[in-house]
């Protein structure tokens, strides 16, 4: 015998329920809401019975026990009637006295019960009133709290917007001012050319930061390039698809980024550069002390120097297969003049000076070249 369960598949029903939820017909957490509501009912613990309620009960019972009795008239207008009444009264009066006693007792109990009832009713009503007042006070408090949360949310939004908008505008001449501290135009052109030569065949190239001259050098070699300003670089990388670029060239940018962004940049580069593609990062060299006193401060957008070993570490842990560092000599080394003379002391002095010289005036920039 086939059972109805075979004819109607329960997965069918489940599928219908899911469809209703997905389309928004059935609100997604209806079962949770119903359950939470029931739990909120069950968690309410009623107060233990107050004494007043017990006394109301007693009073109500006393009321029920109240009897009405009749009074007996002793006077009469009928001749001889009084005599009859008196005779009857002699028999009945003790009973009536007893009845009257009972009535008095019951009346006192009754009055006391009613008083108690009224007092309790007052208590209950005033408790309700104060509950009502407290409830309304709660509602006011919730309303204010809600508005305050909204106000704070709004303040945060405004702050975020302002910080995004905060750009440092140094004027059109600033770039040339910075470059003046480096070297002459032909040296730079050679430098741009050298980098661009390494990227032939690696298009599309994303250039983050750096000068327009670099962009020109790349496009002159037929390399399809997109250039974005340093602050926008990370955003563009985030939105690009995987393996989107043949090479990523980051020039004078990482020293302007917070540390976390540098880490993210390298890690994104590993996904957005296609296998075999190149990552070029050129930045100031912290191993040259003059950079710390000179170049770091010339451009207020520079935040921190990035150690070459740190970059190597980041590149390695992001999964780049090979990498190397090139020191960009700018001819500023060897400022110290050698001490003349040929004996051992002079030689040692000169060696020491040379060492210090190298430290002070080591290459001002380095270029990290990584291959995915």
Q: Given the rule CB under 8 A, which residues bind other proteins?
A: 1, 3-5, 7-8, 10, 13-14, 16-17, 20-21, 24-27, 30-31, 33-35, 37-38, 41-42, 129, 132-133, 136-137, 139-140, 142-144, 146-151, 153-154
CB of 167 to other proteins, least distance (A): 21
Closest among 213, 200, 202 to 247, alpha carbons compared? 202
CB of 162 to other proteins, least distance (A): 13
CA atoms within 13 A on the CB side of 141: 6
**Is the Cβ of residue 37 or residue 164 nearer to other proteins in the bound state?**
37
**Is the Cβ of residue 11 or residue 340 nearer to other proteins in the bound state?**
11
CB of 117 to other proteins, least distance (A): 24
Instruction: Give, in order, the Cα–Cα distances in Å from 312 to each of 193, 195, 202, 324.
Output: 24, 19, 22, 8
**Is the Cβ of residue 148 or residue 307 nearer to other proteins in the bound state?**
148
CB of 295 to other proteins, least distance (A): 41
**Is the Cβ of residue 44 or residue 343 nearer to other proteins in the bound state?**
44
Pairing status of strand 225-228 against strand 205-209:
parallel
**Is the Cβ of residue 36 or residue 112 nearer to other proteins in the bound state?**
36
Beta pairing partners, 245: 273
CB of 64 to other proteins, least distance (A): 25
**Is the Cβ of residue 134 or residue 324 nearer to other proteins in the bound state?**
134
DSSP for 236-263, please give it: HHHHSPTT-EEEEEEES-GGGS-HHHHH
Residues 6 or more apart from 229 whose CB is under 8 A from it?
208, 209
Closest among 283, 267, 270 to 325, alpha carbons compared? 283
Token readout for 249 is 């060239």
CB of 124 to other proteins, least distance (A): 16
- For residues 80 and 151, is the Cβ–Cβ distance under 8 A? no
What are the strands of the beta sheet with 273-284, ordered from one edge? 225-228, 205-209, 245-251, 273-284, 365-371, 322-328
């Amino acid at each position: 015998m086939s059972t109805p369960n075979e004819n109607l598949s329960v997965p069918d029903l489940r599928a219908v329920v899911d469809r209703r939820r997905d389309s928004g017909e059935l609100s997604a957490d209806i079962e949770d809401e119903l359950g939470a509501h029931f739990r909120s009912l069950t968690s309410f613990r009623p107060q233990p019975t107050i004494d007043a309620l017990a006394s109301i009960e007693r009073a109500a019972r006393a009321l029920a026990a109240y009897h009405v009795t009749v009074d007996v008239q002793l006077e009469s207008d009928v001749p001889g009637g009084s005599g009859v009444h008196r005779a009857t009264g002699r028999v009945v009066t003790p009973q009536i006295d007893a009845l009257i006693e009972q009535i008095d007792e019951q009346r006192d109990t009754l009055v006391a019960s009613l008083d108690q009832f009224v007092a309790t009713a007052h208590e209950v009503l005033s408790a309700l009133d104060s509950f009502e007042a407290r409830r309304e006070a709660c509602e006011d408090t919730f309303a204010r709290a809600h508005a305050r949360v909204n106000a704070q949310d709004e303040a945060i939004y405004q702050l975020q917007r302002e910080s995004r908008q905060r750009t440092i505008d140094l004027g059109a001449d600033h770039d040339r001012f910075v470059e003046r501290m480096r070297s002459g135009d032909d040296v730079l052109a050679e430098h741009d050319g050298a980098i661009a030569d390494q990227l032939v065949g690696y298009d599309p190239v994303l250039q983050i930061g750096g000068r327009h001259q670099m962009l020109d050098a790349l496009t002159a070699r037929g390399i399809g390039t997109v250039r974005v300003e340093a602050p926008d670089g990370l955003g563009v990388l985030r939105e690009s698809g995987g393996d989107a670029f043949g090479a990523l060239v980051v020039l004078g940018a990482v020293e302007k980024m917070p540390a976390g962004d540098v880490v993210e940049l390298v890690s994104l580069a590993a996904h957005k550069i296609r296998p075999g593609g190149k990552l070029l990062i050129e930045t100031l060299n912290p191993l040259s002390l003059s950079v710390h006193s000179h170049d770091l401060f010339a451009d207020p957008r520079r935040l921190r120097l990035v150690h070459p070993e740190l970059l190597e570490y980041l590149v390695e842990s992001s999964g780049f297969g090979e990498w190397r560092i090139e020191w960009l000599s700018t001819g500023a080394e060897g400022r110290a003049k050698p001490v003349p003379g040929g004996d051992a002391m002079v030689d040692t002095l000169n060696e020491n000076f040379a060492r210090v010289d190298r430290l002070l005036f080591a290459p001002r920039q380095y270029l990290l070249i990584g291959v995915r």
